[in-house]
Structures are given as structure tokens and as C-alpha cells.
Amino acid sequence: MNRCFKSVIFFIPGWGFKGSIFELAPSDCGTPHLLRPIFLSSGDNCEVLHDGEQQGLGSKGLPILYPKGCAWEISIEAYVETLLGLRRSGKKIHLMGWSLGAILALKIAHLAQQGLRSHGHAPSLTPCSLESLWLISLRRGFPSKEIGNMKAAVERDKRLGLRLFYRDCFKGQESLYRRFKDGLERNYIESFTKKELLEGLDFLENNPVEEISVPEGLRTTLVHGTLDRIAPIEDIPKVTSRVKYMFVEGCGHLPFLCKDVLTQIMQLASLPKMRGAKGEDVLRYFEP
């Protein structure tokens, strides 16, 4: 049975990774999905999908869109412009940020709430236009010493530095790690330059998240693995908004690739309305 999805997941990956990490997602998560990279520039010329592409988007599965290139080199305004283009085409947007991408997602959500002035007029992307916000493996901040050590590792031997980082990311997810090493790892190591990686580390150091405050009315879920070495669970930012949370037992820095978590995300994103979605009882509220 063909089913056209009216929603999209817009995924912003973390440092050293790309959106193609979703290639490791379990295939039996209950909802067919379609990976689609989308080009965004840091200037005014961000590319929005053409009309023909918009019409076909979602005809083969729930689209997971992600930026080409380095997520941290794209301006917040370019992200919001892209979301506005998707919204104008009638798509419901589920914004998902992972690690460094979660920092960006928070910034995007707040700018989207304010509205973005473009081409002489002010289109508005309100909290109601974003169906949901998913903050995955978000850390309060990275100490300067830790960032300095990571920079030194990249400068000394980029390949080895990234390999060690990737190994730590997959703590508790060893089978995923083996698949990553056999496939995506080499591509990622070769595609990121030292300059790009160092700039990403600068971003992490200069953009701490002391508290999680989200636009009023925006449904937000915090997802974290209990074995996360990169963003330890005790370093989750203070919560000052009413959000839901999922703590994933025995999982490392990539909890969104756990079958139970991804199944729930897909279910919620693919339903016409969020309220009363199947799997709701798995979530718990995190009160400020």
C-alpha cells in the first residue's frame, strides 16, 4: 500500500558525523523512511527542494532530511529559511538535533518562534508550525581542557583522533560500531578537513547550554543514553521548560538508533496528529 507522508524529520547531526548515520538505523522500526540530504549554504542562497521534489517527498517513506557538509558551518538563518520552505509546501516538521546538532536545534527553534525576515517581508514559523523538537545527547557544556585535548588529537593525527572519538561514541552499541567501522567511518574521516573539525570544536566550546528552555507550546523530548561517554547523563543541562524525556538504558551517544527509540520517533512523526500517539506511555515528563 502506497502512503504519502505529510511530515518530515529534519535531522542535524553532531560533530564528526553526517546525517547519513541514519543508514545504520534498524529497518524494522515500524515506519518506512527515506534519507535525503539537502544543501544549505551559510549565506542567503540556501537551496530549498524544487516543487517537483516537494510533491514527491514522502511518497515512498517518511523523509529524513539532513544538511550536506558540516552542520555547524551553516547559519541559523539558513536553517530557518529551509524549514520555512518546507512549511510553505505543507509539510509538518519534526526537528531533531543530536549532540552539537541539538545545540543548533535549540537556536533554530527560538529563531523560528520569532519569525525570520526575508526578501523584504517577514514570514513566520511559529512553535505551532514545528510539530516537535527532539534534543538527543545534549550536554551542558564542554570544558576548555577537554576541547583542547580533542583539538590536539585532531591536529596530531586526524584519522586516529576521529577513530578514538567514534569508538567512545558507540559505548554500549558495539554491533552498530562494527557496522559503522565497516562502512561510514572511512568516508567521514576522509570528508572532514582539520579546519572544519577544529571550527566545530570551537563551536562546542563557545556555545554551552546551561539550561533547556524551549518556545512555549513546542512539544519537546529529551533523549539520552545512560552509557554516554561524550555527553554523560549527569551533564544534561538544567531543564526550565516542561519537556518529556527518554533515558535509554545500556545505550551510548547514539540512542536515536536504538530500535525502541526510533520506532517511537517514527510513529509520532508519521501520525496526522501528535496527541494520543501510540507509544506515548513510554515517555515521561521532566518538570523544571
In a domain, 187, yes or no: no
In a domain, 148, yes or no: no
In a domain, 241, yes or no: yes
Q: What mean pLDDT, rounded, does the chain reach?
A: 81
- CA distances for 206 relative to 21, 36, 100, 121, 264, angstroms: 25, 30, 11, 32, 33
In a domain, 160, yes or no: no
Q: From the CB of residue 280, how many other CB atoms can be counted at a distance below 10 Å?
A: 13
Q: From the CB of residue 63, how many other CB atoms can be counted at a distance below 10 Å?
A: 23
Asked if 76 contacts 110 with a C-beta cutoff of 8 angstroms, the reply is no
pLDDT (tens digit per residue) in 249-283: 999 999 999 988 888 888 877 765 434 333 343 34
DSSP 237: P
Q: Which residues contact 63 (CB under 8 A, 6 or more apart)?
A: 5, 8, 9, 33, 34, 36, 57
Q: What is the pLDDT of residue 84?
A: 82
Q: How many domains does the chain have?
A: 1
In a domain, 2, yes or no: no
Domain of residue 12, CATH code? 3.40.50
Confidence band, pLDDT 50/70/90 cuts, at residue 192: very high
pLDDT higher than threshold 60 for residue 2: no
pLDDT (tens digit per residue) in 18-33: 999 988 988 777 666 6
Q: What is the residue range of 103's domain? A: 7-140+210-286
Spacing of C-alpha 162 from chain mean position: 20
Q: Which residues contact 48 (CB under 8 A, 6 or more apart)?
A: 81, 82, 85, 86
In a domain, 21, yes or no: yes
Average pLDDT estimate for 192-199: 97
Cell 545500556, located at residue: 250
Instruction: Write down the pTM of the prediction.
Output: 0.85
Instruction: State which amino acid sits at residue 4.
Output: C
In a domain, 61, yes or no: yes
pLDDT (tens digit per residue) in 39-65: 554 443 344 443 344 444 455 577 888
In a domain, 112, yes or no: yes
Between these two residues, 170 and 60, which has the higher pLDDT value?
170
